[in-house]
Amino acid sequence: MPVGTLANVKTLTPAQLQETGAQMILSNTYHLHLQPGEAIVAAAGGLHKFMGWNNPILTDSGGFQVFSLREIRKISDEGVTFRSPHDGQIIKLTPEKCIEIQNALGADVIMAFDECPPYPASRQQVEVATERTYRWLERCMTAHQRRDQALFAIVQGGVHLDLRSRAAAQLSQLDLPGYAIGGVSVGEPPELIHHIVQATAPLLPHHKPRYLMGVGTYREIVVAIASGVDLFDCVIPTRWARHGTAMVQGQRWNLKNARFREDFTPLDATCPCYSCQHFTRAYISHLVRAQEILAYTLLSIHNITEIIRFTQKIRNAIMRGTFATEFAHWLVPQEVESKT
């Protein structure tokens, strides 16, 4: 899922986004609550109509964003109180409020409100957050009013596999339509992320969608899929695009590099995207150097297409029964692109 935090995937129109092959996108409850507010989105007829995207949307609960704020005033069983980074106003977010906002936004999949502990954190702090996340999930289920929206649970537990395992067992009993692994990719080393995912994903119901939140470089995707994960969201393809970086067949290219100045071939001759069909590396390199907005659009189109094609190749390999052999080289520990 490409990330469209503020009801848009940066620099792309919905038509351009659809052409990349993306089927579902992610938007964010916390950010849309602050700006423009769920009342405006609801008055527009819901998030799909408001942003002109007729395909599935998932809204993240905002737990991750709220707990990343320095301006947290108070965390209690009731909820979280914090100061809005926009206007300094004091805002209180509870599980009930989070679901009320998501019911108003109207995404197809909504996420339970969770406490995402930082990394590193003490085991006790993680344990408290994990247990609170479970109690909050029960309140989210009670508050949830729209049966046309699927509510997903989030497994927390930090780097403690026993806490993750206990949370996964508790949540699985609630028979929700989908399950997410949260609280990863919050600063841990890549190999630790893989260890957590490999241990947690198999514990979640196999017949339900399993979603790894906020993760999505090439190798992370392969490791997670090998563990049973179905869904991902990640800002990397679009964020890197805005930094002038192209994702090409598992590599990462900085288009400012001198070698692209007079390279009149497409980014990737095998890529069917609009950017590769119409433009050269030299042209995109020129746009990046000149800081033209079109550079970011063309790179976003290509990068999203690239990562979607990568997952399509994995899906085809799974269907053929050749995933384990074809993608084995990705599972060997190597130098991994960090989340930037």
As annotated, the active-site residues are 60, 233
In the chain the first and final C-alpha atoms are separated, in Å, by 18
Of residues 11 and 130, the one with the C-beta less far from Zn ion = 11
| Interaction between residue 302 and Zn ion (CB under 5 A) | yes
Task: Count residues near Zn ion (CB under 5 A).
Answer: 5
Q: How far apart are CB 58 and Zn ion at their closest, in Å?
A: 25
Of residues 25 and 273, the one with the C-beta less far from Zn ion = 273
Q: How far apart are CB 317 and Zn ion at their closest, in Å?
A: 21
Q: Which of 337, 272, 292 is nearest to 19 (CA)?
A: 272
* Strands (DSSP E) found in the chain: 25-28, 57-60, 72-75, 80-83, 90-93, 109-111, 150-155, 178-181, 210-212, 231-232, 245-248, 251-254
Q: Running DSSP on this structure, what letter comes out for residue 263? A: -
Tokens in use for 271?
Answer: 């890529």
Helix (H, G, I), strand (E, B) or coil at 230: coil
| Interaction between residue 307 and Zn ion (CB under 5 A) | no
Q: Running DSSP on this structure, what letter comes out for residue 77? A: S
| Interaction between residue 57 and Zn ion (CB under 5 A) | no
- For residue 131, report the phi and psi dihedrals to the nearest 5 degrees: -70, -35
Q: Which of 202, 249, 188, 194 is nearest to 221 (CA)?
A: 194
Of residues 274 and 330, the one with the C-beta less far from Zn ion = 274
Q: How far apart are CB 2 and Zn ion at their closest, in Å?
A: 15
Q: How far apart are CB 273 and Zn ion at their closest, in Å?
A: 3
Residue 212 in contact with residue 231, Cβ under 8 Å?
yes
- Per the DSSP assignment, residues forming a β-bridge with 203 are none
Q: Which of 126, 140, 224, 207 is nearest to 172 (CA)?
A: 207
Of residues 66 and 273, the one with the C-beta less far from Zn ion = 273
Q: How far apart are CB 269 and Zn ion at their closest, in Å?
A: 9
Q: Report 257-276 residues binding Zn ion (CB under 5 A).
A: 271, 273, 275-276
Of residues 240 and 323, the one with the C-beta less far from Zn ion = 240
For Zn ion, the binding residues (CB under 5 A) are 271, 273, 275-276, 302
